[in-house]
Amino acid sequence: MADKAGFFERLTHKRSLQHWAGRAEAARKVDFQTLRGFQKKAWNLRNLLDEVLFVAEDRLALPRPGSEEFKKPADTEWAWRPALWRGPAWTKGIAGINSGETIAEGATLFHDCQFSDLTYRQMRNTRQSDLAPYGARLDVFTFDGSFLSLVLDLPDESRQGLQRTNLFRLNTVVESERPLEIFARLNVKHGPNVEQIVRELPLHQDDVWVEFDLGYTKINEKRVEKIWVDLIFEGPQMNQITLRDITMSRGRRSEL
């Protein structure tokens, strides 16, 4: 039965190709009214074909959406890739971003610009070296503010069993048109207090990562309510910043 259905599908496809081959040849000779009819039908067909190609190329491109594959330290007890780099975001792109605008689950952009000349779009990673299915690109033009930051809320699992002997590690793949500085700040809310650890990303290295050692904080392990990371972009004006991947992991500090 399947072979019979496949035969008819191939036959229908062949006849469709022959039909449009005939229309392509006739388009040079027919009158304008007939040609407009060809054009309308061709555009309707093209829209459907473009949709099939878009979905197929997205699904067949590597890495596949939802991928959790990335390098982790040997002692990792928890690891995570934010939704923005893992699968399709709620919105593919935004122009003139307002401060506090959520661009994906758990990802929010903040700035203090009076005039937002800033755009964001999610992009598909297709390079052989890419491990994340998606990336995020910021185009910053005129920038009259003093800060631009991307806030990533860590899931609840990141604080389960959390102790001051833990280390958080942030790995990222960053590209920019012009040199800039990016700082990562880990925030741990425990009760009414928030402990913060700031690290500058070593963008001059091929493998860009930083660690946050909770041993240098005064967190109350039993009262941790929320953890988030700020990526702070210094001097972002007239620059295109591409975050190909961001991952977080949690392990243990080596005991002396």
Over the stretch 49-98, which tens digit does the pLDDT of each residue have? 877 776 666 666 666 666 667 778 888 999 999 999 998 887 778 888 89
pLDDT of amino acid 152: 98
CATH number at residue 127: 2.60.120.260
**DSSP 3-state of 256:** coil
Q: Are residues 122 and 233 in the same domain?
A: yes
Q: Are residues 55 and 82 in the same domain?
A: no
Q: Which residues contact 6 (CB under 8 A, 6 or more apart)?
A: none
Asked if residue 222 is part of any domain, the answer here is: yes
Question: pLDDT tens digits, residue range 112-162?
Answer: 988 888 999 999 888 888 889 899 999 999 888 899 999 999 999 999 999
Is 253 or 147 the better-scoring residue by pLDDT?
147
Q: Are residues 106 and 11 in the same domain?
A: no
pLDDT of amino acid 44: 85
Q: Are residues 83 and 46 in the same domain?
A: no
Asked if residue 65 is part of any domain, the answer here is: no
Q: Are residues 106 and 216 in the same domain?
A: yes
Residue range(s) defining the domain that contains residue 247? 78-252
pLDDT of amino acid 92: 78
pLDDT of amino acid 142: 87
Give the mean model confidence (pLDDT) for residues 25-35: 88
pLDDT at 228 over 90: yes
Asked if residue 180 is part of any domain, the answer here is: yes
The confidence band for 207, taking pLDDT boundaries of 50, 70 and 90, is confident
pLDDT of amino acid 39: 87
What DSSP assignment string belongs to 79-141? EE--HHHHS--S-SEEESPPTTEEEETTEEEEE--SS--EEEEEEE--STT--SSEEEEEEE-
Asked if residue 69 is part of any domain, the answer here is: no
Question: pLDDT tens digits, residue range 155-191?
Answer: 999 999 999 999 999 999 999 999 999 999 999 999 9
pLDDT of amino acid 166: 94
Q: Is residue 231 exposed (0-12), middle (13-18) or buried (19+ Cβ within 10 Å)?
A: buried
Q: Are residues 52 and 13 in the same domain?
A: yes
Q: Are residues 135 and 49 in the same domain?
A: no
Q: Are residues 230 and 156 in the same domain?
A: yes
Asked if residue 70 is part of any domain, the answer here is: no
Phi, psi of 192 (to 5 degrees): -85, -5
Asked if residue 201 is part of any domain, the answer here is: yes
pLDDT of amino acid 186: 97
Per the prediction, the chain carries an average pLDDT of 88
